[in-house]
Amino acid sequence: MCDNHHNEPFKPHLPDLDQLQKGLDRRNFLTRTAMGLGSIALGTLLGKSLFGNTLGQLSSPKPSEDLEAEILRALPHFAPKAKRVVYLFMSGGPSQFETFDYKPKLVNMFGQPLPDSVRQGQRLTSMSSNQSILPVVPSFCKFNQRGQSQTWVSELLPHTAEVIDELCLIKSIHSEAINHDPAITFFQTGNQLPGRPSIGSWVSYGLGTDNENLPSFIVLVSKNAVKDQPLYARLWGNGFLPSEYQGVQFRAGKDPVLFLDNPEGYDGADRREMLDYLSALNKYQNEVNKDPEVEARIAQYEMAYRMQTSVPEVMNISEEPDEVFELYGPDSRDPGTYAANCILARKLLEKDVKFVQLYHQGWDHHGGLPAGITGQCKATDQPTAALIKDLKRRGLLEDTLVIWGGEFGRTVYSQGKLFPNNYGRDHHPRCFTMWMAGAGVKPGISYGETDDFSYNIVKDPVHVHDFQATLMHLMGIDHERFTYKYQGRRFRLTDVHGTVVKNILS
Amino acid sequence: MILLDITTYLGHLHPLIVHLPIGFLLLAVLFELLSYVKRYEYLKPAVSFALLLGFISAVFACIFGYMLSLSGDYDLLNLANHKITGIAVAVVSGLLFLCTTTAFRNKISISRWLFSSFFIGLFFLMTYTGHQGGNLTHGSDYLSLKTLRQRELKKPSSVDEALLFEDVVQPLLAKRCSQCHNEGKMKGELSVQTLQGLLKGGKSRPAVVGGKLHESELYERITLDPSNKKYMPADGKTPLTKEETAIIKWWIEKGMAMSGVKIADLKNGDEIKPRVAVFLGLGDGGEIADNSGIAVNPDIPKSFNQNLLDSLRNKGVHVRLMSHNPVMLDITMPAGSGDKLGIIKSNLRAVAKNVIWLNLSNNKLTENDLDFLPLMTNLEKLRLEKNPVADGISSQIVGLQHLEAVNLNETKITRACTEKLKQMPNLKRVYTWKTLAE
């Protein structure tokens, strides 16, 4: 071993770092050149357009960092009801007709064209807009009234029906986008175009962490799903927020986070020392060029170090009793399945991870819907209900908000040829059903109504931004006051929209 | 375009230049009058030179003033007045200068008294012109007896009696906006001096629309990012405070942008009272309610000791701030750190009334360790699961009036405990999974 040199303060003597020391970064460069232009302007007396404005901006007393600090200091804006969120995202657009939105009058209309008075010329996707007829198709499954609330639930969801009195169904959610990518991006970031931070990133950035040893925003994607529509990391991305607030995806399977184990032959004893030295090196560089990415990288190294112990602990399901696996269903012993992810989500919530998001793909049933949705429900119904039951008995539903839903609903008419036992449904953003349960939400209610075709909303519409505003409200955030300034504009999750749905709050 | 910029630039110099003729001519008047006194006779010859300087600078002031008038921000009638009298000042001072020249004196002689009376006339003309100019910039009621009387008369004695628009919104706008947006100087064609002016709005659209916040340009402009070109007040003038913005927001949204309504007669007027009280200087307003409309237990202290919080955090306790006002805390002792309870107990006692949620789960604690619980009188949620606490715990928590939920899963409690907890009127949920009381 060499001497104890790394206890000495770090002094670089590399020519590469000399360059950095000069500090000629973009900001400095622009400031200096702008000053130069300013003095030229002074000399030529070109009036206020150069004179007043340029100098005025340079001496602007309020850098945006202070603004951000002020906004963060004000959080939370009021006492939150929810301490954690688990968002079960059903990607692809689950049909409301086969799940929660019971439309008995359709039974007598099998195969009849969708009346123009209902459609009102509204846009269709290009997948069904050239169909000669838009035949109405009733749901193939039976509905029953369940729970004390006597809520209609599809026979495909027998387990969810058992917890229906815990759920707050929103039957009148509506979106603006009609295709998957913009619709899911809209739901997760408040904007149809990529680039904005996801809900989990906003929450994580605004409220910080309740457990230093785990990321505050964790994403789990089911491995046992039909991968009909892709998911991409930007759905849980940080957008323009600092990188350490992006969602951390745990891989489906035994090893959820790669490279957490020490390499062979290394016992990890001096890792702390190594990280301290690396951190000093990074901080030294960052004093010069102030790159927020370097700060994010330092935070991530530290998090990875802590996760070396915290992740194996939380992933260890050997101590879970058989009764738990029975509750979550047969898939739950197979890591990476939706059921196993639900158990994992419960364990992460127990550890006070603030935002856990599950994704389960395969709900995009343009054709073969009866078989497709039966399979989807089979894979998700029992684990979802089990998660509710498990959180409830453990007392975690007190302060955990559970959300279930997709990016849009499906049409009342069949896409493609309609058979008595087989049909498909196209995308329908104008109304669909999602539910919330737990902290701060009224249990056992249905909110909003659709018409007899579940085509238009007739009562209490809830826009995606309204849902987002409500979610933020439950976390103690006034969505209008929580902004982040980027490229000269203040952004927020709900852009300039959104109203908290007060009637579903308990 | 450069030419245009120079015009604008020079125009903006008018308020500066204009003080030169005022100074010179005042000096001329003063010298002229003083020279009647024997002691100051020697000032007489200087009058001519002061007049010349006054005349030249007055000409410049007129030219620059004309350039400024081209900006079109000013009320035409007042402007015309100011323009004519301003030019008159320049002409009169020029003529008076001519009177002092030897060439002129050789031809016509006027009596000294007449000459002096012209001077006094010039003084009044200049005063009038100056006042007109001031009115253009600051508004016609900036310096008037009417303003003086108004301010003396009005001052509501209580928040209830105050008229929301007349006593609060109008003075607020007068303070922040009417320097540029008054009847005399309608920048952007907007005057905020009257409700009519606000409803009519400026160049583009109404400044306020009752009940429609997002159609009200006034609100939009004052809530833009300060670096935005359209942000108001412009040019680095003092911005509205958050509280002032909140008052305007409330007035437009809930007060329907109406005038002549007393706060007491407003629907939901209580919401805005604390802010109005602060604005009118009638008390500190107490607690300014949040717009969330969530009812908060009034017994929770509004403040706390930050050092105690830091101390708790340093001892490994997780403290989450749930609300700033009142100060509501969510305190979690990490699982397996129960042996540290001894060293944090005194801190917990000190912040007891601020603790709203408390999580002590999985820390090998018994009811004897939890003697501080009765102090936490504002506690709403308590988690004690996975601790060897027994039935005795009920006596520690039975007095907690605000307790809504208690988690006693996997503890040693029996039905005796849950029976006792049933006496608590506000306790809604008791978790007893994996206990004998299940």
The DSSP result for A226-264, as a single string, is: ---S---GGGG--TTS-GGGSPEEEPSSS-SSTT-SPPT
Check if A395 contacts B (Cβ < 8 Å).
yes
A47 and B291 within 8 Å at the Cβ level: the answer is no
Check if A80 contacts B (Cβ < 8 Å).
yes
Higher-pLDDT residue of B81 and A2 is B81
DSSP A355-396: EEEEEE-----SS-HHHHHHHHHHHHHHHHHHHHHHHHHTTG
B328 and A393 within 8 Å at the Cβ level: the answer is no
Question: How far lies A270's CA from each of A6, A224, A266, A276, in Å?
Answer: 12, 40, 9, 10
Higher-pLDDT residue of A288 and B39 is B39
- Candidates A210, A395, A496; nearest CB to B431: A395
Residues of B in contact with A62 (CB under 8 A): 226
Residues of A in contact with B294 (CB under 8 A): 78-79
B9 and A47 within 8 Å at the Cβ level: the answer is yes
Task: Look up tokens 């979802």; give the residue.
Answer: A384
- Report d(CA A303, CA A309) in Å as an integer: 11
- Report d(CA B226, CA B238) in Å as an integer: 11
Residues with Cβ within 8 Å of B434's Cβ and at least 6 positions away in sequence, in order, are B409, B410
B409 and A394 within 8 Å at the Cβ level: the answer is yes
B2 and A47 within 8 Å at the Cβ level: the answer is yes
Residues of B in contact with A45 (CB under 8 A): 6, 9
Check if B234 contacts A (Cβ < 8 Å).
no
DSSP B53-103: HHHHHHHHHHHHHHHHHTT--S-HHHHHHHHHHHHHHHHHHHHHHHHHSHH
- Report d(CA B234, CA A383) in Å as an integer: 58
Higher-pLDDT residue of A315 and A475 is A475
Predicted confidence at residue A16, as pLDDT, reads 53
A488 and B227 within 8 Å at the Cβ level: the answer is yes
Predicted confidence at residue B113, as pLDDT, reads 86
B357 and A62 within 8 Å at the Cβ level: the answer is no
Contact A116, A124 (CB under 8 A): no
Predicted confidence at residue A53, as pLDDT, reads 39
- Candidates A46, A47, A478; nearest CB to B291: A478
Q: How many CB atoms lie within 10 A of CB B186?
A: 20
- Candidates A47, A211, A488; nearest CB to B6: A47
B5 to chain A nearest CA, in Å?
A: 5
A80 and B294 within 8 Å at the Cβ level: the answer is no
Q: With bands split at pLDDT 50, 70 and 90, how would you rate the model's confidence at A1?
A: very low
Interface test with A, best of B242, B321, B358 (most A CBs within 10 A): B321
Name the closest residue on chain B to residue A475, using Cα atoms: B322
**Mean pLDDT, residues A365-386:** 96
Check if B323 contacts A (Cβ < 8 Å).
yes
Q: Which helix (H) or strand (E) holds A173?
A: strand A167-174
Check if B13 contacts A (Cβ < 8 Å).
no
Contact A358, A301 (CB under 8 A): no
B5 and A489 within 8 Å at the Cβ level: the answer is no
A394 and B405 within 8 Å at the Cβ level: the answer is no
A393 to chain B nearest CA, in Å?
A: 6
A210 and B431 within 8 Å at the Cβ level: the answer is no
Name the closest residue on chain B to residue A45, using Cα atoms: B6
| Superfamily name and number for B306-431 | Ribonuclease Inhibitor (3.80.10.10)
B93 to chain A nearest CA, in Å?
A: 31
Contact B391, B368 (CB under 8 A): no
The count of C-alpha atoms lying within 13 angstroms of the C-alpha of A271, restricted to the half-sphere facing its C-beta, is: 14
Predicted confidence at residue A118, as pLDDT, reads 93
- Report d(CA B177, CA B230) in Å as an integer: 14
Residues of A in contact with B225 (CB under 8 A): 485, 488-490
Q: Tens digits of per-residue pLDDT, A7-47? A: 655 555 555 555 454 545 555 555 555 554 544 444 444 33
| Burial class of residue B261 (count of CB atoms within 10 Å of its CB; 0-12, 13-18, 19+) | middle
Residues of B in contact with A489 (CB under 8 A): 225
B320 and A48 within 8 Å at the Cβ level: the answer is no
Residues of B in contact with A478 (CB under 8 A): 291-292
DSSP type of residue A292: H
Higher-pLDDT residue of B156 and A457 is A457
Contact B259, B166 (CB under 8 A): yes
Predicted confidence at residue A301, as pLDDT, reads 87
pLDDT greater than 50 at residue A130: yes
Average pLDDT, rounded, for chain A = 87
- Report d(CA A396, CA A401) in Å as an integer: 9
Lowest mean pLDDT among A180-184, A438-442, A485-489: A485-489
User: What are the two backbone dihedrals, phi and then psi, of residue A450, each rounded to the nearest 5 degrees?
Assistant: -115, 170
Check if B332 contacts A (Cβ < 8 Å).
yes
pLDDT greater than 90 at residue A295: no
**Long-range contact pairs involving A287-292 (C-beta distance under 8 Å, separation at least 24):** A288/A20, A288/A21, A288/A23, A288/A25, A289/A20, A289/A23, A289/A25, A290/A25, A290/A27, A292/A242, A292/A243
Q: Tens digits of per-residue pLDDT, B314-331? A: 999 999 999 888 899 999
B323 and A478 within 8 Å at the Cβ level: the answer is no
Residues with Cβ within 8 Å of B378's Cβ and at least 6 positions away in sequence, in order, are B297, B299, B300, B353, B354, B355, B356, B402
A171 to chain B nearest CA, in Å?
A: 25
Q: Prior bond to A76 cis, omega within 30?
A: yes
- Report d(CA B199, CA A374) in Å as an integer: 59
Question: How far lies B226's CA from each of A487, A497, B229, B234, B349, in Å?
Answer: 14, 21, 8, 9, 45
Check if B9 contacts A (Cβ < 8 Å).
yes
Task: Look up tokens 């309504």; give the residue.
Answer: B261
Predicted confidence at residue A47, as pLDDT, reads 39
The complex scores an ipTM of: 0.82
B416: helix, strand or coil: helix
What pTM did the predictor assign? 0.72
Predicted confidence at residue B197, as pLDDT, reads 86
B405 and A395 within 8 Å at the Cβ level: the answer is yes
Name the closest residue on chain A to residue B335, using Cα atoms: A351
Reading the block at residue B362, the tokens are: 């999985």
In the chain, the amino acid numbered A489 is R
B322 and A80 within 8 Å at the Cβ level: the answer is yes
Q: Flag residues of chain B having pLDDT under 50.
A: 1, 285-287, 289-292
- Report d(CA B20, CA A20) in Å as an integer: 54
Please state the separation of Cα B125 from the chain's center in Å. 39
B426 to chain A nearest CA, in Å?
A: 15
- Report d(CA B180, CA B202) in Å as an integer: 12
Name the closest residue on chain B to residue A470, using Cα atoms: B292
Interface test with B, best of A394, A399, A485 (most B CBs within 10 A): A394
